Amino acid sequence: MFSRVLRSSLSSSRLSYRSFASKPKCVMLNAARLDFDGRMDWKKVTDVTEFTSYDISATEEIVPRAQNMDIVMNKEFPIPGDIIRALPPSVKLIAEAGTGYNNIDLDACREKGIAICNVPEYTTEAMGDYAITLVMALSCSLAPQMKALAKGDRRYMQQCHLGHLDHFEIRGKTYGIIGGLGYIASNISKKALNLGMKVIVSDMPSTPLGMRDSGVEVVSFDDLLKQSDFISPMVPLNKHTKGLLNADCFDKMKPTAYVINTARGPIVDQEAIIDALRKKKIAGAALDVFGEGSAPPPPLPEDSPLYDVFDEFENVILTPHIGWQRVEARQRVVDGCGDNIAKFVRGEAMNIDMTTGLPIR
C-alpha cells in the first residue's frame, strides 16, 4: 500500500460517496512540481474526482481556486493558517502529495475540520538509492574529478593521478543514521548492509525494536558521531531537530567523516558545517537540501556561502533536492494520493492522526 491506513485523521471529517451528489471536486494547486516532464498518469485521481489542476499557484490564488472544491491536492506548497481558515466550507481534505507536511498548518486544519493525508512511503526506494549514490560518490572522489574536468583540468584523466583525493571501498565502513529507522532510513540501512557496511543508529524512541536484530546496532548519539564514517540525519524538521547537527557535533566527528543530508536543510546548522569544512573537522559533505526548510526549498541565493564552499572544497556535493524526483517515485505519490482520496470519500480511515499531527506507522 502507498499509505498505511490505521485510523481516522479527523473523525468528524469522515465522508462517503453518499455525501456527494456526484464525484467530489478536487483541485491540484501545483501539478508541475510532480509532472514537470509530462510523464505522470493521473488516472487514479481522475477516476474518483472531478479533477482540476494548475501547474503552479501563488499563495493568494489558493482560496479562489479552492472555491466549490471538496479536496485540495498539493505538493509541498506552503498553506499557512490564515489561508486554511479562509478556505470555503466545502473543503474537507488536503491531500499532501508527499511525505512531509510541515508546510501545512495542522492547528488551523483541526480548527476548520479539514482532514489531512500524506503518502509516507512513495520515495523510500528513490531516497535510499540517492543516499547510497552519495556515499559512493564521496568514497571515490567523483565530484572533484568531474569539477576539475569541467574547468579544463585533465590531470585526473591520466591513470593513477588521484593524488591526495579520497578513494576507498565502502565495505567495512560505518554508516551512522540519526533518528532511528523510519521508511527511508530503513531502506538506506538495508542497502548499506548489503554492500558490506556497518550500520549504527542513534538510540531514539522512534527506533523500531524489530530492526535491532537485523544487523543494525543501536548506539548513543555521541557514539554515533564519534564512530561513523558517513552520517545521515533522518529526522523530520521541527523545533527539536532544527540545528540538530551543530558545532558541538562536528567537534565529535572523525576528521575523515562525511555528512550526507537528504532530509531538510536546517537540520544541519549551515554556519557550523561550513566552519567544520574549513577547519577540516570533517572530510566533506553532500547536501541535497538547504535553505529554511520549506519544501520545495527555494533556490540558493546568489551570495550563499554554500557556493563558496562548493568552489573552495573538492569534497563537497550540492544538489537541488533531486533525491525524490525519479519518475517511479513521482508516479507512486500520484497513485498514493488517488488511493487516499478514494478511501476518504468511502469514509475509510486516513493515515494522519490530527490529535498529534504525526503519521501513524
Write down the H helix ranges in 66-105. Answer: 81-86
Question: What domain range is 308 assigned to?
Answer: 124-318
**Distance between CA atoms of residues 132 and 134, nearest Å:** 5
| pLDDT digit string, tens, across residues 28-75 | 999 999 999 999 999 999 999 999 999 999 999 999 999 999 999 999
Write down the H helix ranges in the chain. Answer: 43-46, 62-65, 81-86, 106-112, 124-139, 142-150, 183-194, 221-227, 247-252, 270-278, 305-312, 327-345
CATH number, position 72? 3.40.50.720
Contact 235, 270 (CB under 8 A): no
Peptide bond into 208 cis (omega under 30): no
Indicate whether 10 pLDDT > 60: no
| More reliable by pLDDT, 158 or 189 | 189
Q: Specify whether 281 is located in the same domain as 231.
A: yes
Say if 227 falls within a structural domain. yes
Q: Specify whether 149 is located in the same domain as 271.
A: yes
Average pLDDT over residues 238-243: 88
Q: Specify whether 313 is located in the same domain as 196.
A: yes
Average pLDDT over residues 227-240: 92
Task: Provide the percentage of residues in the chain whose pLDDT is more than 90.
Answer: 60
**Distance between CA atoms of residues 352 and 361, nearest Å:** 9
